Amino acid sequence: MVSGPLEGIRLIELAGLGPAPFAGMMLADAGADIIRIDRINRAVYPPNQEAHVDLMNRGRRSVAVDLKNPEGVELVLRLVEHADGLMEGFRPGVAERLGLGPDACLSRNPSLVYGRMTGWGQEGPMAQAAGHDIDYIALAGALDPIGRAGERPLPPLNLVGDFGGGGMLLAFGMLAAVISAQRTGSGQVVDAAMVDGAASLMTMTYTLRAAGMWPGPRGTNLLDTGAHFYEVYQTAGGGYMAIGAIESQFYAELIRLMGLEGEELPDQMDRDAWPRMKERFAAVFASKTRAEWEAIFEGSDACAAPVLSMTEATENPHNRFRGTFTEVAGVVQPSPSPRFTRTPGSIRTPPPQPGQYGDDALAEWGLTGEEIGDLRSAGAIC
């Protein structure tokens, strides 16, 4: 049973890597009916019924299509006629060469939303250049501020470019344009570029800089480990505690629970004292184990939390209560987010093997069994 606030929205996803599948996952989790068009040379025949491990492909049905076969291209265009949107993550110009660019698709369905996910955008001096998350966030100004004083910038996994600035903003763009199309009857192209999205995620940091609250180089400011009250400290036994007591009342609670209340301490926002206070905090946290600090801070407003491993996070009592993680087909994974009270999202199926569930999807989108058989006989689908 399909559920979620996007129930009734139909989307096509031309299979790709990273951010575009993440956008598809978010939309599928929220109830959109998505057909994933996989490359025919990735299909397994006979189909492997075991769950695929690429969790970002969950919740969709796959049709394995030969996009070099005119009948395969025509199949996708026929599906476009019944879709609210299409998403692709190719380099600029690739979809056009396949015969599935915006002009071809919008001519078949003028109300279609055509989402495009790239690193550098559809136009510009670097539009055709190869790249990865680390390159996009570097050019966006998002990598330089991340890291400790005197050290090289530290890539924050590939969260900022691929998923925050890429897939999440593509999902937002698709929804904004679908709402517009439903209101006006006119579709459009959504040009989602990771360099743009990563820059957008830096808006608050630019605000702090404009307000004079981000005056120093990397690792010396309020939120980049410059402040002793926004830092990670090692505990006895090797664990870590994350401290984020920015507001004065939370800082006072932190000082009390650390046992420093009676000491003569500099003002919290005395930047000259931050390095000295980091050394003091480090010595205090090193005096107890992480478990001891967890017990001390439990239920407090000190803004202190243990640094959990991925495995520990799935077992944490708060996360278990919230259902932050779930198990599907034997694989533990993050649950759909955000949550909806009336139309909850769900993980409807494990990630499909290429071509898995394809016949059912094509039938629901209007193809007859005979047409599906003809396409298979012609080698257009597998």
Question: Contact at 8 Å (CB) between 79 and 73?
Answer: no
Whole-number pLDDT of residue 48: 57
Q: What is the CA radius of gyration of the chain?
A: 25
In order of 61, 279, 294, the CA distances from 174 in angstroms are 19, 48, 42
Best CA proximity match to 230, nearest among 263, 266, 277, 198: 277
Q: Which of 321, 339, 357 is the last residue of a domain?
A: 321
Q: Is residue 208 part of a domain?
A: no
Rounded CA-CA distance 178/9 in Å is 9
Whole-number pLDDT of residue 43: 59
Q: Do 370 and 307 fall within a single domain? A: no
Whole-number pLDDT of residue 53: 77
pTM for this predicted structure = 0.94
Whole-number pLDDT of residue 119: 97
Q: Is residue 50 part of a domain?
A: yes
Q: Which of 305, 321, 337 is the last residue of a domain?
A: 321
What contacts 309, CB < 8 A, 6 or more positions away? none
Catalytic residue among 82, 132, 359, 374: 132
Q: Do 119 and 240 fall within a single domain? A: no
Q: Do 292 and 274 fall within a single domain? A: yes
pLDDT tens digits along 180-199: 999 999 999 999 999 999 99
Q: Do 291 and 360 fall within a single domain? A: no
Positions of the chain with pLDDT lower than 50, given as ranges: 1, 45
Rounded CA-CA distance 88/61 in Å is 16
Q: Do 56 and 19 fall within a single domain? A: yes
52 is catalytic: no
Q: Is residue 213 part of a domain?
A: no
Whole-number pLDDT of residue 2: 55
Q: Is residue 5 part of a domain?
A: no
pLDDT tens digits along 26-62: 999 999 999 999 998 765 545 555 556 789 999 999 9
Q: Do 108 and 20 fall within a single domain? A: yes
Whole-number pLDDT of residue 42: 66
Q: Do 177 and 194 fall within a single domain? A: yes
- State the residue range of the domain holding 342: 10-201+325-377
Q: Do 285 and 184 fall within a single domain? A: no
Question: What's the CATH code of the domain at 269?
Answer: 3.30.1540.10
Rounded CA-CA distance 130/24 in Å is 23
Q: Do 355 and 298 fall within a single domain? A: no
Q: Do 265 and 301 fall within a single domain? A: yes
132 is catalytic: yes
Rounded CA-CA distance 213/43 in Å is 54
Q: Is residue 269 part of a domain?
A: yes
Number of structural domains found in the chain: 2
Q: Do 187 and 334 fall within a single domain? A: yes
Q: Which of 284, 299, 321 is the last residue of a domain?
A: 321
Q: Is residue 206 part of a domain?
A: no
pLDDT tens digits along 331-351: 999 999 999 999 999 999 999
DSSP string, 256-268: HHTT-TTS----T
Rounded CA-CA distance 166/131 in Å is 13
Catalytic residue among 38, 84, 135, 162: 162
Q: Do 177 and 63 fall within a single domain? A: yes
